[in-house]
Structure 1
Amino acid sequence: MEESVTRKFVHEDSSHIVSFCAAVEACVLHGLKRRAAGFLRSNKIAALFMKVGKSFIPAEELCRKAQDLEQIIDSNQDSIRKMPRLPSFTQQGVKNLWIRTALFEKVLDKIVLYLVENSSKYYEKEAVLMDPVDGPILASLLVGPCALEYTKMKTADHFWTDPSADELVQRHRIHGGNCRQDSPTKRPALCIQKRHSSSSMDERPSPSPSAREYVESLHQNSRVTLLFGKNNVLVQPRDDMEAIPGYLSLHQNADLMTLKWTPNQLMNGSVGDLDYERSVYWDYAITIPLGEIVYLHCHQQVDSGGTVVLVSQDGIQRPPLRFPRGGHLLQFLSCLENGLLPHGQLDPPLWSQRGKGKVFPKLRNRVPQGSGSSDSVSDKEEDEATDYVFRILFPNSQSEFGEIPSREANKYEQHSFCICYSNITGVVCHCNRNLAPLKLLCDNMKNQIISRAFYGWLAYCRHLSTVRTHLSALVNHTIVAPEVPCDAYKGLTTDVWQTFLQDCTAYDENELLRLVYFGGVDASLRKEVWPFLLGHYQFGMSEVDERVRVCYQQTMREWLGCEEIVRQREKEQHAVALAKCSSVVSMDSSSQKITHHNSTVSNEVFESVEEVDQIETEPKSEEAKQGPKLPNGAMQNETSSPDSGHPSSRNFSVTSGLSDGSLSTEDSAAADTIPRSAAAPQAPQSQVKPQELLDLYTLNLHRIEKDVQRCDRNYCYFTPANLEKLRNVMCSYIWRHLDIGYVQGMCDLLAPLLVILDDEAMAFSCFTELMKRMNQNFPHGGAMDTHFANMRSLIQILDSELFELMHQNGDYTHFYFCYRWFLLDFKRELVYDDVFAVWETIWAAKCVSSGHFVLFIALALVEIYRDIILENNMDFTDIIKFFNEMAEHHNIKRILTMARDLVCKVQMLIENK
């Protein structure tokens, strides 16, 4: 459903479709009666749908279509391509053919609903569809997918498939070994010329999707605009071979333009053919970013449509492009000029003539001095100028090359020259037959070299100053080598810890933290060491802090007393609601009352408990106000109902009386039963009224209970008894921090602590210490925006290529996809054992290398998969999907190693070493 929202459709070959159909099929077959599927039927879904089709018309039509597809598969596989609306017939596709066909024909939800309504006929008692709740829910959930649009269209977003994260990693492992392995922090942009050579492909034949993706990218799509396209443009790839024809195309992506030339042999290749993937012609393909080109030298010959030689900033000439006849060279220049606007222009510009469109500018051929006046040149001679030199100008980037003084510019106007040579036409460009003096040329080159070197050095100094200013606070100043020392690869072992406990002077605190930073903590020691790492103990202490246990028990008594009042109040409110419903029923016996109170009764019959509570707040008689009493004899106000507990709700005042600060006598009496010590768990809440405190705690209690029940329920530790411990610790912490309140995700941070410590009081104290740092990551703090800004700075400096991709593909350099990482310290991204290793490394890194080590773990997570991100040109939706699917599949040792390496690189950059 997420994919359909972001991309407006779902591809039929999407991996989500395979998983979805398999899940639906498992639900439909669960508890199916043997006679419903048939004794001799191997395809139970087909048998079931055919039985349903006898009495349900949509199922009958589906069976006819599915049977036709099965016959096509059995008889002639080649006929599949002729059918416009067929799913992909992979092994999984054939296996779930009936479910997939029902989904694409948008009748799957109707058939499942029919099965639910007639479940006793087809299913056993324990079946999912026999359940009075699960069955209708399943049918309702299928309505959304059946309303979506599915497509087999080949687009830039779906090159015949929508691979899962695991498949992307597998592809990278298969063909990534032969790719050039540059520095992980700086690589040139990927292009088709850096593909495997034919020899390497012979050694390890592995077809790659890069070839067909490259050809597909030549066409118009949603991300790139095709400005110009022409086939049979000749290029001579090497001096020892003849010119070969190819397809020339000009593409525009945002403000960037790219020129591509692909040999015709590749344009006509068959997809999936291994010889096509290994073709030597891939070495001849050309990809040129127009931002690197300064000059275009155009030569018009009698025997062809013209030749263009591109010259880059460093003076390197690209292979000449020879156009066929028919004015295609002029069309190419016209499209290029239009694509440059409004940020750039051609100099000189093309002229516009009425009826002819764009034409070459009429420039006077320069006449050598001494050969007569330029006026002797005829108009015919002016019109026959065949050689042009166009310059690509970007007004905002002129200062990059240095400006030439006006007097010098006049000299160059008189002594312009061109040094291009075409190895196809065999002619030298004669833009000016008077070459500049050699000394003037050398002086100009020397000045440009000095100017570029100076501005490059100045830019580097400014860049380094920015780095030092913005990143110096992210790392410690003492540089720690990322390599694991030989004495630290085992981490904090039992022997080292026992030696430290016997003699605190044997190991320094920093030495212990260094061992944890590089090697972690031995699993058997975590229960003892984690309280030290979190600050519950100070290194050197060995006695158990009984004050923590006493404080925890006192806190428990306080909030349990408050909870007892909350439960009693809810119980009485429920009784009042039932009594009101009973009184409404009794009113039905009197026809006069029904007539008199028609509108009131018809509404009250269907009111929820919350609606009843709202009605109760209206003025009533003194007798109606009296309700059940609390055990101490005080009157309980049945009109005050707890908030729904929705996470987005911030209305902590539930009763209508609190809006003006007033409390009824019953409310005050109920609130007085709260222990006085509980009325002000923290100093900031000392002014909170007892009834407000009661409502505030009720709101948080409901949120905690909802999250505790679903927190890591599949992990073996969390039995009902241990879930009760988790609830106790969480309630105790929130009772002491009602000014902050419970926010979804706090249970995720507490759960690993309770697993390791297995002690409520100790977990309460350690969780309190942990939340001193983590509290600011939640919505009431401001640390999350700081994390995003720091991530942007880090990746922009350490991996500019990846940053540029993120900026171009929808600009997701805001790094919102890292939100869950920072909120929970990667707890949802890793399995439990890896969470333990990451957390203790983060705690130790504060003193060893960086107090912001979470940033470098996040950056390492991105850098580990940078090649996959670049190869698949991922946008924001792609990267969210990728990391969601990769959760709990990461190599944590590799990630921590890279994170330590990134910290060291920033430290070295700041120190300018």
Structure 2
Amino acid sequence: MEEAVTRKFVHEDSSHIVSFCAAVEACILHGLKRRAAGFLRSNKIAALFTKVGKSFAPAEELCRKAQELEQIIENKTSQAALPQQSMESGVPNIPPQAIKHLWVRTALMEKVLDKIVLYLVENSSKFYEKEAVLMDPVDGPILASLLVGPCALEYTKMKTADHFWTDPSADELVQRHRIHSSHCRQDSPTKRPALCIQKRHSSSSMDERPSPSPSARDYVESLHQNSRATLLFGKNNVLVQPRDDMEAIPGYLSLHQTADVMTLKWTPNQLMNGSVGDLDYERSVYWDYAMTIRLEEIVYLHCHQQGSGGTVVLVSQDGIQRPPLRFPKGGHLLQFLSCLENGLLPHGQLDPPLWSQRGKGKVFPKLRKRCLQGSSESTSDKEEDEATDYVFRILFPGSQSEFGKHLHASRSSRHVSCFCPCPYFSVYLPSLEALSLCCGLCFHLHRAPLKLLCDNMKYQIISRAFYGWLAYCRHLSTVRTHLSALVNHTIVEPDVPCDASSGLSLDVWQQFLQDSTAYEEQELLRLVYFGGVDPSLRKEVWPFLLGHYQFGMSEAERKEVDDQVRACYEQTMSEWLGCEAIVRQREKEQHAVALAKCSSGASVDSSVQRMMHRDSTVSNEVFESVEEVDQIETEPKADETKQVPKIPNGTLPNGTSSPDSGHPSSRNFSVTSGLSDRSLSTEDSVALQQPGPGKPEQPADDNPAAGTGSKPQAQLLTRKQEAKELKAVEETKAQGIKELLDMYTINLHRIEKDVQRCDRNYWYFTPANLEKLRNIMCSYVWQHLEIGYVQGMCDLLAPLLVILDDEAMAFSCFTELMKRMNQNFPHGGAMDTHFANMRSLIQILDSELFELMHQNGDYTHFYFCYRWFLLDFKRELVYDDVFSVWETIWAARFVSSSHFVLFIALALVELYRDIILENNMDFTDIIKFFNEMAEHHNVQQVLTLARDLVCKVQRLIENK
């Protein structure tokens, strides 16, 4: 609606249009009868407009155009229609977010939306229930009237000179902010939260100086009539002396009224005549002199009529006086007071009121000058004199102060006045008895003594201080409750003599390797936290930061760890490579069968069955040896019921390792329930204890019931039972192996797809190095088949491989990294915790930004941070910056916070907070902004701000 009032052209892709169409559609659908839109129609707006079109010509034409648009969109989606088709038909390219509001948007562009809504209002009983908005006798016609303005606008796809309202790119927003950031009033996010106490200025200062943000043009336009405020008075060349050491400068004085407040603005002429977009104009010093005054804070107006015009001094409740406003000649002072008096009605008034003259407007009230000693003289003996100085009070019934009540009660005559000196000039103040005006605070000389005034001011000051202190204590309690677990309680400051900002240097590291007692582990971590690691040292230092090595290990101990990891990695690779060979062979045979079926068209069910039988046979041959089966049949031992066949290289089918496998990480590996690891049942154990080769037969008389001819029969039954049980065991193993192969096949395909597209534009990832990436990923997933591969794991592995350039080392470090990162993926619950902590942090540290997020569609769920937390900002930064951020996160766990990723995320938001506030971003806007800003962030600035935010929370907790 603001665009409809202030703009001639609006860009068709503006997000304001999408929001506007959504709001209008909600109004139209509110209380709609089911039969009006059809019972089976999913698009109720389309059904309603179609029904209206049967009896209303503009709606009929709209339906035809909207249906054409729907057909074009459907063709583009299903048949990938060429762009020329839409150009030939004259149909604009519709943004994806506007498709669901297509009918309302088309009606708006065709300028018939107001007519259709008016028709619906006039025939509302036919379409709507009683509680509908359009059924309301007031709201319905108002809505139709409001739509006239937007329907009269011109909509364009061109980049005109007036394209401020289009959605700019993130880079353009940042550039705009940089132009005028030096003049914006920015509340530093590192300050303590502001208390809810109104700030008062000295008499020589301006009130609320308007910032040129978000746009100088917007501020200048706000001085004139607009949709948000009514202009009551405006006069140019009103003089104000901003400082004592400078001349009075002319400016534009304007009085504005909104539904809630009346505001007085004074703007230097240099800002009114400036060129928007000019850098000098944006940085003009005159922005510091412009002022905005809320009239509800003003109690007295000191007016002095001079020969050259008139002067007004505004005095607030606490006696602070604003600089005098000097009007030019021509009765502009009286005109200003008249507009002010009219604007105060009906909720407020001037005391004394201006007098009305028929046909001549308002005039000053008649006051007679008298001396204090002449109070006993008769009226006829008094010398009448026209008063040139006045004091007017602004009264709001029901909200008068105690002094105002005393003063108002003491007045019984408007024609009696007393003289009182003023710092600027002499004034006459109407009252019954002698009054005194001191610093703008009027009080009765006898009924309101100076002590009462001082006591009242003391009470107000103490009350403000107490409530401010109470609010801060509550705030501090909230901080301690919600944020104390997010940071370490020991504040670590960068040591200036040691210059921690330079980070871990080559000299310090070499000295540490030569003598591990030269530097403590905490000191090295502190250097990494504040300055990072020298790029040439990352290959050596990262294994320490990730836990592959422990600080203080000797070179021999580190070599022993490397040998163990390498043996483990080779063992794991041999296991999954054997499984992969079976998978490849099975896929090859399945592909051949599929080709044969397609070529012949004959049924190959029997062939498929034979192939599946052969698969199980091959699987048994690979995963089970003949000697092991013979051992089960011929040499059962006491713990025979717990034995299960082995996978090659010593790994058991249930994912554990045999004692001689030499697999240190085997305890982390388990297979899903498909592979049976259950022991044989009791009946199996009894059956296997029957006589067999190499075991003595039981005496015949052990079974008295058995005859001499029953022994061969009993042995035959025993053999059949053994064969049946052995077959059942083999079937169970075959089923478990099949499920294992299926599970690994799924993960293998996922890994291969992601590896091929992982940072393929980065110089390091040649085909040979992509093969290394695949090997490491397959090895990790083989050890964690219960979790499997999740998209994004390759993004976390890639930087490690780039730095370490060694498969076994990267595999070990990635395993250590995933101990923390694993819970961020969908199978874990860490992501919801991150979102909740972000909500608490930003609510306490930046309540203004949190309020904006809450109002604009409530995106305080912080889902736009999902990719940040999932990949440790890997896709938000270029590779060199990823290295710096990651090593800082790893060191921060021991130095300042194990949740340092939260503070990096908060720093990213705070870095652009002013841009977010200026553009009033909603959830869609902020996602678009940060997607476009990816790989364009100033990482050192982000890390510095993140460390400052950690320190701020620590100090809040300690109440320093």
TM range (shorter): 0.5 to 0.7
Q: CA contact under 8 A between 1:294 and 1:392: conserved in structure 2?
A: no
Task: Indicate which of 547, 550, 553 corresponds to 2:570.
Answer: 553
1:332–1:282: structure 2 CA closer, same or farther, 3 Å change rule? farther
Q: Which residue of 2 aligns with 1:475?
A: 487
For residues 284 and 513 of structure 1, the distance between their equivalents in structure 2, rounded to whole angstroms, comes to: 50
Q: Which residue of 1 aligns with 2:209?
A: 193
1:302–1:237: structure 2 CA closer, same or farther, 3 Å change rule? closer
Matches within 5 A, 1:171-250: 171-177=176-182, 183=188, 185-186=190-191, 193=209, 210-216=215-221, 226-232=228-234, 237-238=240-241, 246-250=253-257
1:238–1:739: structure 2 CA closer, same or farther, 3 Å change rule? same
Deviation track 1:234-273 (CA, whole Å, cap 9, x = no partner) reads 8664498699654433457xx9997756578866766457
Matches within 5 A, 1:389-408: 389-391=394-396
Q: CA contact under 8 A between 1:186 and 1:800: conserved in structure 2?
A: no
Deviation track 1:850-874 (CA, whole Å, cap 9, x = no partner) reads 2122222223333444454455555
Q: CA contact under 8 A between 1:680 and 1:688: conserved in structure 2?
A: no
**Which residue identity lines up with residue 819 of structure 2 in the other structure?**
K
Q: Which residue of 2 aligns with 1:773?
A: 820
For residues 903 and 771 of structure 2, the distance between their equivalents in structure 1, rounded to whole angstroms, comes to: 36
Deviation track 1:385-416 (CA, whole Å, cap 9, x = no partner) reads x977444999xxx9xxxx99xxx999798579
For residues 857 and 786 of structure 2, the distance between their equivalents in structure 1, rounded to whole angstroms, comes to: 39
Q: CA contact under 8 A between 1:192 and 1:286: conserved in structure 2?
A: yes
Deviation track 1:3-59 (CA, whole Å, cap 9, x = no partner) reads 95955479xxxxxxxxxxxxxxxxxxxxxxxxxxxxxxxxxxxxxxxxxxxxxxxxx
Deviation track 1:313-343 (CA, whole Å, cap 9, x = no partner) reads 75546679968489854664469x7xxxxxx
For residues 422 and 740 of structure 2, the distance between their equivalents in structure 1, rounded to whole angstroms, comes to: 86
Indicate the SS of the match to 1:763. helix
Count of residue correspondences: 658
Q: CA contact under 8 A between 2:669 and 2:783: conserved in structure 1?
A: no
Q: Any stretches of 5+ residues in structure 2 without a counterpart?
A: 1-10, 20-67, 96-108, 110-154, 200-205, 326-332, 351-374, 377-390, 436-443, 620-645, 657-667, 676-735
What is the TM-score normalised by the length of structure 1?
A: 0.59
Q: Which residue of 1 aligns with 2:94?
A: 147
Q: Which residue of 1 aligns with 2:830?
A: 783
1:8–1:849: structure 2 CA closer, same or farther, 3 Å change rule? same
For residues 503 and 473 of structure 2, the distance between their equivalents in structure 1, rounded to whole angstroms, comes to: 40
For residues 397 and 651 of structure 2, the distance between their equivalents in structure 1, rounded to whole angstroms, comes to: 80
C-alpha displacement at 1:717, in angstroms?
Answer: 0.9
Q: CA contact under 8 A between 1:233 and 1:323: conserved in structure 2?
A: no
Indicate the SS of the match to 1:193. coil
Q: CA contact under 8 A between 2:532 and 2:884: conserved in structure 1?
A: yes
Q: Does 1:159 align with 2:158?
A: no
**Which residue identity lines up with residue 229 of structure 1 in the other structure?**
L
Q: Which residue of 2 aligns with 1:445?
A: 457
1:686–1:274: structure 2 CA closer, same or farther, 3 Å change rule? closer
Q: Which residue of 2 aligns with 1:705?
A: 752
C-alpha displacement at 1:529, in angstroms?
Answer: 1.8
C-alpha displacement at 1:622, in angstroms?
Answer: 7.2
Deviation track 1:758-781 (CA, whole Å, cap 9, x = no partner) reads 222221221111111112222333
C-alpha displacement at 1:711, in angstroms?
Answer: 1.0
Q: Any stretches of 5+ residues in structure 1 without a counterpart?
A: 11-105, 115-133, 197-207, 338-345, 349-369, 372-385, 587-619, 637-670
**Which residue identity lines up with residue 582 of structure 1 in the other structure?**
S
Q: CA contact under 8 A between 1:309 and 1:318: conserved in structure 2?
A: yes
Q: CA contact under 8 A between 1:192 and 1:214: conserved in structure 2?
A: no
1:912–1:154: structure 2 CA closer, same or farther, 3 Å change rule? farther
Matches within 5 A, 1:247-396: 247-250=254-257, 271=276, 285-288=290-293, 293-294=296-297, 314=318, 316=320, 324=335, 329=340, 332-333=343-344, 389-391=394-396
For residues 421 and 692 of structure 1, the distance between their equivalents in structure 2, rounded to whole angstroms, comes to: 99
Matches within 5 A, 1:794-833: 794-807=841-854, 811-833=858-880
For residues 869 and 674 of structure 1, the distance between their equivalents in structure 2, rounded to whole angstroms, comes to: 58
**Which residue identity lines up with residue 677 of structure 1 in the other structure?**
L
Indicate the SS of the match to 1:229. strand
Q: CA contact under 8 A between 2:572 and 2:782: conserved in structure 1?
A: yes
Percent identity over the alignment is 67
Indicate the SS of the match to 1:628. helix
**Which residue identity lines up with residue 481 of structure 2 in the other structure?**
T
Q: CA contact under 8 A between 1:561 and 1:675: conserved in structure 2?
A: no
Task: Indicate which of 759, 762, 770 corresponds to 1:715.
Answer: 762
C-alpha displacement at 1:463, in angstroms?
Answer: 2.0
Deviation track 1:619-656 (CA, whole Å, cap 9, x = no partner) reads x99747635357667499xxxxxxxxxxxxxxxxxxxx
Q: Which residue of 2 aligns with 1:534?
A: 546
Indicate the SS of the match to 1:146. coil
Indicate the SS of the match to 2:786. coil
Indicate the SS of the match to 1:850. coil
Deviation track 1:728-747 (CA, whole Å, cap 9, x = no partner) reads 22222223223333222211
For residues 752 and 173 of structure 2, the distance between their equivalents in structure 1, rounded to whole angstroms, comes to: 39
Task: Indicate which of 469, 488, 494 corresponds to 2:506.
Answer: 494
Deviation track 1:832-881 (CA, whole Å, cap 9, x = no partner) reads 12211211111111112221222222233334444544555555444433
Task: Indicate which of 464, 468, 473 corresponds to 1:456.
Answer: 468
C-alpha displacement at 1:756, in angstroms?
Answer: 1.2
Task: Indicate which of 507, 520, 529 corresponds to 1:517.
Answer: 529
Indicate the SS of the match to 2:876. coil
1:483–1:567: structure 2 CA closer, same or farther, 3 Å change rule? same
C-alpha displacement at 1:137, in angstroms?
Answer: 8.8
Deviation track 1:165-197 (CA, whole Å, cap 9, x = no partner) reads 44444444444456678755349999983669x
For residues 274 and 511 of structure 1, the distance between their equivalents in structure 2, rounded to whole angstroms, comes to: 47
1:192–1:409: structure 2 CA closer, same or farther, 3 Å change rule? closer
C-alpha displacement at 1:570, in angstroms?
Answer: 3.6
Q: CA contact under 8 A between 1:627 and 1:635: conserved in structure 2?
A: no
Deviation track 1:555-585 (CA, whole Å, cap 9, x = no partner) reads 323333443444344444444443443355x
Q: Which residue of 2 aligns with 1:76?
A: none
Deviation track 1:473-497 (CA, whole Å, cap 9, x = no partner) reads 2222222114655354443333433
Matches within 5 A, 1:558-577: 558-577=575-594
Q: Which residue of 2 aligns with 1:680?
A: 655
Please report the RMSD computed on the Cα atoms of aligned residues, expressed in angstroms. 5.6
For residues 294 and 584 of structure 2, the distance between their equivalents in structure 1, rounded to whole angstroms, comes to: 70
For residues 332 and 908 of structure 1, the distance between their equivalents in structure 2, rounded to whole angstroms, comes to: 49
Please tell me whether Structure 1 or Structure 2 has the larger radius of gyration of its CA atoms.
Answer: 2
C-alpha displacement at 1:424, in angstroms?
Answer: 12
Matches within 5 A, 1:415-454: 430=430, 435=444, 436-454=448-466
For residues 699 and 412 of structure 1, the distance between their equivalents in structure 2, rounded to whole angstroms, comes to: 87
Q: CA contact under 8 A between 1:232 and 1:323: conserved in structure 2?
A: no
1:421–1:888: structure 2 CA closer, same or farther, 3 Å change rule? farther
Q: CA contact under 8 A between 2:672 and 2:785: conserved in structure 1?
A: no
For residues 186 and 265 of structure 2, the distance between their equivalents in structure 1, rounded to whole angstroms, comes to: 25
